[in-house]
Amino acid sequence: MDVAKHKKVAVGMSGGVDSSVAALLLKDRGYEVTGVFMQCWDVKDDGCAADEDKAYALQTAMALDIPFKTLDFRNEYKERVIDYFYTEYEAGRTPNPDVMCNKEIKFGIFYEWAMKEGFDFVATGHYSGIENRNGEFKLLKGVDGGKDQSYFLYRLGQEQLGHTIFPLGELHKPEVRKLAKDKMLPSYKRPESMGICFIGEVDIKDFLGKRIDEKKGKVITSTGEEIGDHDGVWFLTIGQRHGFRLKKYFGDPMYVIAKDAGTNTLTVGSYEEALRDKFAVSELSWVGANPFDNADEITCDVRIRHLGKLTPGVVKKSGEQTSDVSLSSKLFGVAPGQSAVFYKGDEVLGGGIIG
């Protein structure tokens, strides 16, 4: 008997081509598919296209002849993702809202809703893979290296992976577009969605400015020389080379290399000064067994941003939820608040928040 037959799956449908094809593939495999649109934001001034997205998702569900539901997660999204986003920036850090969105929304309250409603699985259009190896579920990179989204998913655990399907993990984006076009799914021509999860592409400074006021502060060099000013450290991130004003010309570009939210002081320096090969990580989260249960350090590849370079390194335990990372080569723009994700080959081991 087909393993998929009579298995119920709730597919998170955003109205984009990826989630549309995920639903298509699962239906073709024999699953009982229900399309679910998550309403998380509705402020059109922020570039949010939720009404249009929902219309595409509904049209796709109708084209596939599958049931369709809408879940209103606007309050939860504001509390768990957007408030976190603002709080982190106010503290001088650079958060990754997509990591939190996946943890709290897609594989948090959506997953919990689906399990409570009797679904066997949830599914999304993520370019990532899941494999059961000797009884342990592994989170894998997507085969399309230019679309791999495993970086955003490192906070998933064994329970969620056991009830999740990523139908696009073995596909490349052109194949997904072709499948959508062949079936004439409404979303097959839609452009790539960019920006903040569920909101879209926004100007970060404008978005932050809705809740955080500008405040003039000093720009200094690593030696303490005052050389300019800025409108607030919370509007800038490590590695940025614009957004502050200098009173003197240095010849080469100057980059943000440190921020002090307490004194609202920005430190800038050369490209070389913005490179780091050592940093601390907290709030560790492991996909499977905690590797520190059997060793004080692990050798792995480290990625500090989505699709960033995978750099060999050593992750050494320093506390129950903390570790020190040493890389084989220096990386540019290692920003506190971002996620460092640890890989072993094609497998995601886990990760944490850069300090």
The secondary structure of 57-76 as a DSSP string is HHHHHHHHT--EEEEE-HHH
CB 36 within 8 A of CB 61: no
The single-letter DSSP state of residue 196 is B
* pLDDT tens by residue, 242-277: 999 999 888 899 999 999 999 999 999 999 999 999
For the chain, percent of residues with pLDDT exceeding 70: 94
* pLDDT tens by residue, 278-333: 999 999 999 999 999 999 999 999 999 999 999 999 999 999 999 999 999 999 99
pLDDT of 193 strictly over 90 = no
CB atoms within 10 A of CB 165: 23
**Identical fold between 8-182 and 213-270:** no
* Statement: the pTM of the whole predicted model exceeds 0.75: yes
How far apart CA 50 and CA 326 sit, in angstroms, is 42
User: Which segments are annotated as binding site?
Assistant: 12-19, 38, 125
User: Which segments are annotated as binding site for ATP?
Assistant: 12-19, 38, 125
Can you give the pLDDT at residue 108? 97
Domain ranges, ordered by start, for the chain: 8-182, 213-270, 275-354
- Homologous superfamily assigned to 275-354: Translation factors (2.40.30.10)
Give the CATH class of 213-270: mainly beta
CATH number of this structure's domain 8-182: 3.40.50.620
More confident residue, 191 or 2: 191
Mean pLDDT for the chain overall: 93
Within the chain, residue ranges assigned H as helices are: 17-28, 50-64, 74-77, 83-90, 97-101, 110-116, 158-162, 173-182, 204-209
Active-site annotation, residues: 101, 197
Residue 1: pLDDT band (50, 70, 90) is: very low
Which neighbouring-strand residues pair with 228?
219, 246
How far apart CA 27 and CA 25 sit, in angstroms, is 5
